[in-house]
Chains A and B, each alone.
Chain A
């Protein structure tokens, strides 16, 4: 039976999470439709149509879909559901918000943050902050799934699927968008960056965080991440948090600076290809999973690292 993938986007362009979730959808069934819901988001529909493997794009446009409010997204998807064997969305804060609501309206379970598709009804997912992996089989007629996108390769582009405009139900009107404060940055996006430089409590202040982490991230063209302790202390905003309850990242290179390596932090970065830890405590748990460890004071090491990188660049 066909599968529906709900696209993640900001009404202007498709988020990198969607082509990755596409790979999970294709592993369930080759007949994948993509739902692009939003307001004035036709350009996103075009982008989705170009994802290799998409059989069709459903474009739902209405003012009340602009902010992907859970009440509206779930109400939109319910009447579509009967045609599909599974509905997937990336496990972003948007997907995590509306998908369980949709599942309950359809009277089915949700399978959260899958990391592998074993068959059309069997999936793997992490529990206990990634300290155990569970293989679960669903008995529901419709599988509602969120996808941990770091576990899947992005689908290619080059396709040209037909785009079909669909009817949008009247607004549920239960909730209203009240504004947002989005972090703008010239850096690559944390969730999909090739290199991530993360700072922890040890940075000590917002000023130090900017002074010591930013230049290194700049030099490596890296996204900046942080531990919960650094976010709680106000060094950076909440969207920098990596971990069990923040973002999950799996870059080529993850550099943890002044981060102890609590299981909740490891949950968000331990699948990175190469991990570097800089910490003055040689017993810090982060060293147990780091490929390269450097024991010492970060305030001394980071300027050295910066100048070594400059030397290496020639």
Chain B
């Protein structure tokens, strides 16, 4: 079985981003970039399936500017077998990403695609569901557990009320939640080996699908600021303030 893992290069989760004062967007110059944390979890899950003998080949695919190749190399260093880099300098929306990924799925025929549940830059939480729709495949989103058995995938999902299990016909789409696994770090020898793993490159335009954005960003602003309040001396003062000053208890 082949597993396809779409990964996104995003601003590192530890970086506190800066909004440009003129409202034109977020300042990304010289900001540390990393693999989207949910995608690391997706790569890890695929590697575990291969280690368990369920998967034979893991393909990492990413769409973005030239530097995106570094992120694919990270996935290869973690243990993916080969990479596909779709070069594209324009901002893409999830629908455009899903369209390109559909082309890759059709070319590679994986039985399973594992994506992250959400990219931590745009916080969209859409691409996996959209890809599933375009392919007519079932989807198991926000997965905290994945079991494959007899042509079916059993996915435990993190939902608002607790956990839900769905059983999906394969091929299918799974999106990872935080507790699916704990991703490994790439070891130095594996980082060296990853440099020799195949990484195919193709411009997005060559896929011949419509990836034009549907949304126009009119402006990007700082959220309403919150000021630090006061430090109270003890529990008694806190209760007094909550009662008489804030009036919330």
Is the C-beta of B95 less than 8 angstroms from some C-beta in chain A? yes
**Residues 121 to 177 of chain B near chain A (Cβ within 8 Å):** 121-134, 136-142, 144, 154, 157-169, 177
Closest to A304 in B: B235
Closest Cβ of chain A to B19, distance in Å, is 5
Q: Do B220 and A132 touch (CB < 8 A)?
A: yes
A274 touching B141 in the complex, CB below 8 Å, given contacts A101-B130, A109-B93, A178-B165: no
Find A305's partner among B137, B154, B239 (CB 8 Å cutoff): B239
Q: Do A220 and B249 touch (CB < 8 A)?
A: yes
Is the C-beta of B222 less than 8 angstroms from some C-beta in chain A? yes
Is the C-beta of B103 less than 8 angstroms from some C-beta in chain A? no
Q: Do A103 and B95 touch (CB < 8 A)?
A: yes
Q: Do B238 and A276 touch (CB < 8 A)?
A: yes
B-side contacts of A134, CB under 8 Å: 217, 219-220
**Number of residues of chain A lying within 8 A (CB) of chain B:** 90
State in angstroms the CA–CA spacing of A275 and B236 once bound together.
17
State in angstroms the CA–CA spacing of A204 and B5 once bound together.
35
Find B11's partner among A69, A128, A253, A275 (CB 8 Å cutoff): A128
Is the C-beta of A280 less than 8 angstroms from some C-beta in chain B? no
Is the C-beta of A201 less than 8 angstroms from some C-beta in chain B? no
**Residues 283 to 314 of chain A near chain B (Cβ within 8 Å):** 287-295, 301, 304-305, 307-309, 311-312
Is the C-beta of A79 less than 8 angstroms from some C-beta in chain B? no
A245 touching B215 in the complex, CB below 8 Å, given contacts A130-B223, A312-B243: no
Closest to B233 in A: A294
Closest Cβ of chain A to B104, distance in Å, is 16
State in angstroms the CA–CA spacing of A92 and B141 once bound together.
13
Is the C-beta of A252 less than 8 angstroms from some C-beta in chain B? yes
B-side contacts of A176, CB under 8 Å: 166-168
Find A252's partner among B19, B127, B248 (CB 8 Å cutoff): B248
Q: Do B17 and A137 touch (CB < 8 A)?
A: no
B-side contacts of A170, CB under 8 Å: none
State in angstroms the CA–CA spacing of A280 and B41 once bound together.
32
State in angstroms the CA–CA spacing of A107 and B210 once bound together.
11
Q: Do A126 and B223 touch (CB < 8 A)?
A: yes
A-side contacts of B123, CB under 8 Å: 112-113, 126-129, 244
Q: Do A292 and B242 touch (CB < 8 A)?
A: yes
A136 touching B217 in the complex, CB below 8 Å, given contacts A174-B137, A238-B179: yes
Is the C-beta of B218 less than 8 angstroms from some C-beta in chain A? yes
A-side contacts of B223, CB under 8 Å: 126, 130-133, 270
Q: Do B248 and A110 touch (CB < 8 A)?
A: no
Is the C-beta of A180 less than 8 angstroms from some C-beta in chain B? yes
Closest to B129 in A: A100
Is the C-beta of B178 less than 8 angstroms from some C-beta in chain A? yes
State in angstroms the CA–CA spacing of A270 and B213 once bound together.
31
Is the C-beta of B73 less than 8 angstroms from some C-beta in chain A? no
B-side contacts of A239, CB under 8 Å: 158-162
* Segment from B58-66, B74-82, B105-113, B224-232 that makes contact with A: B224-232
Is the C-beta of B52 less than 8 angstroms from some C-beta in chain A? no
Closest to B241 in A: A292
State in angstroms the CA–CA spacing of A139 and B125 once bound together.
20
A-side contacts of B196, CB under 8 Å: none
Is the C-beta of B47 less than 8 angstroms from some C-beta in chain A? no
Q: Do A294 and B238 touch (CB < 8 A)?
A: yes
0/1 interface trace, chain A 119-163, chain B, CB 8 Å (1 if under): 000100011111111111111100000000000000000000000
A-side contacts of B186, CB under 8 Å: none
Q: Do A244 and B160 touch (CB < 8 A)?
A: no
B-side contacts of A177, CB under 8 Å: 164-167
B-side contacts of A63, CB under 8 Å: none
Could you name 26 residue pairs across A and B whose Cβ atoms are closer than 8 Å? A97-B139, A100-B126, A102-B133, A103-B130, A107-B95, A112-B123, A112-B124, A126-B223, A132-B17, A133-B220, A135-B220, A137-B218, A174-B137, A179-B165, A231-B179, A232-B178, A237-B162, A237-B163, A238-B162, A238-B179, A274-B242, A275-B226, A288-B228, A291-B246, A292-B242, A308-B235
Top-3 shortest CB links A-B? A100-B129, A178-B165, A104-B133
Interface residues of B (CB under 8 A from A): 11, 13, 16-17, 19, 26, 93-95, 98, 117-118, 120-134, 136-142, 144, 154, 157-169, 177-179, 213-223, 226, 228-232, 234-236, 238-243, 246, 248-249
